[in-house]
């Protein structure tokens, strides 16, 4: 979908900060955009998010819940904004399902694709900004931040599988992926993201 941009990456690599910087840049330069996140985006999505981040469940159940939240998110938030000609920036989307449920939980890409078929249908991102940083070296880890949800509490091995999943996806969908390696200086990373989106005519 034109004008639909997603951000992906492992935990603690500075994704939220980078999204905030992009938001500030777009506000400063008077470029309207809708910022949203998964799982969440509306009331039902936020409730599903709470369950997903707290309750223990099977991988299959997890994949379906993410997809269910996604259906609501697409129909009530994303498509509405895109149809009004807005730029939509989403913090995590289908590639998180591929990386976490498909690769790390071991459901496989095919199954996750099937589960998401109804959800995503024709609503694939035009570009995906992938913050390419090993989760075991993440900024958050370096700062020793406390673990505050179920996914964050998973083992290092799990997070490495997620990372490997994203790497594979970035190769399989090379045309869609914008791979950015976070630098210690957050402003520098932000500039790389802005430059990459400008080069592709997404923002000015
Ligand atoms: P969140 O607190 O938003 O994490 P982050 O700040 O790292 O984005 O929690 C979302 C968690 O859900 C995160 O661990 C990734 C995971 N997730 C999946 O496993 N599958 C998905 O399809 C999505 C959208 C997220």
Report pTM.
0.97
Is there an atom of ligand 1 within 6 Å of 149 CB?
Answer: yes
Write the CA distances from 125 to 142, 175, 199, integer angstroms.
Answer: 31, 11, 17
The two structure tokens encoding residue 96: 């998180």
CA-CA distance, 144 to 163, in Å (whole number)? 20
Q: Indicate the range of 20-34, 80-94, 131-145, 157-171 predicted with least confidence.
A: 131-145
User: What atom in ligand 1 is closest to the CA of residue 97?
Assistant: 22
Q: Where are the domains of the chain?
A: 4-199
Element (H, E) at 36: strand 33-37
Q: Which residue in 176, 171, 95, 177 sits closest to 130, CA to CA?
A: 177
Q: Which DSSP string do the residues of 121-174 spell out, in sequence order?
A: TT---SEEEEE---GGG-HHHHHTPPP-STTTTS-HHHHHHHHHHHHHHHHHTT
Please give the CATH topology (third level) of the domain spanning 4-199: Rossmann fold (3.40.50)
- pLDDT at position 121: 82
Residue nearest ligand 1's atom 13 by CA: 151
Q: Which residue in 200, 193, 196 sits closest to 24, CA to CA?
A: 193
CA 38 to centroid of ligand 1, rounded, Å? 7
What would the pLDDT profile of 21-59 be if each residue is shown by its tens digit? 999 999 999 999 999 999 988 899 999 999 999 999 999
């Amino acid at each position: 979908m034109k004008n639909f941009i997603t951000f992906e990456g492992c935990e603690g690599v500075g994704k939220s900060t980078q999204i905030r910087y992009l938001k500030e840049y777009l506000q400063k330069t008077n470029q309207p955009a809708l910022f949203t996140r998964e799982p969440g985006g509306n009331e039902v999505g936020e409730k599903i998010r709470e369950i997903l981040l707290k309750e223990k469940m099977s991988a299959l159940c997890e994949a379906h819940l993410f997809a269910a939240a996604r259906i609501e998110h697409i129909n009530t938030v994303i498509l509405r904004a895109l149809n009004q000609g807005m730029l939509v920036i989403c913090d995590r989307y289908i590639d998180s399902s591929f990386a976490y449920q498909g690769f790390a939980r071991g459901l496989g890409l095919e199954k996750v694709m099937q589960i998401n078929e109804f959800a995503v249908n024709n609503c694939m991102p035009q570009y995906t900004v992938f913050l390419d940083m090993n989760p075991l070296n993440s900024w958050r880890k370096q700062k020793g931040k406390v673990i505050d949800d179920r996914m964050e509490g998973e083992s290092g091995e799990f997070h490495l599988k997620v990372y490997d999943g994203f790497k594979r996806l970035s190769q399989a969908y090379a045309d869609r992926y914008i791979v950015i390696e976070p630098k210690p200086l957050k402003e520098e990373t932000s500039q790389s993201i802005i430059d990459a989106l400008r080069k592709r005519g997404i923002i000015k």
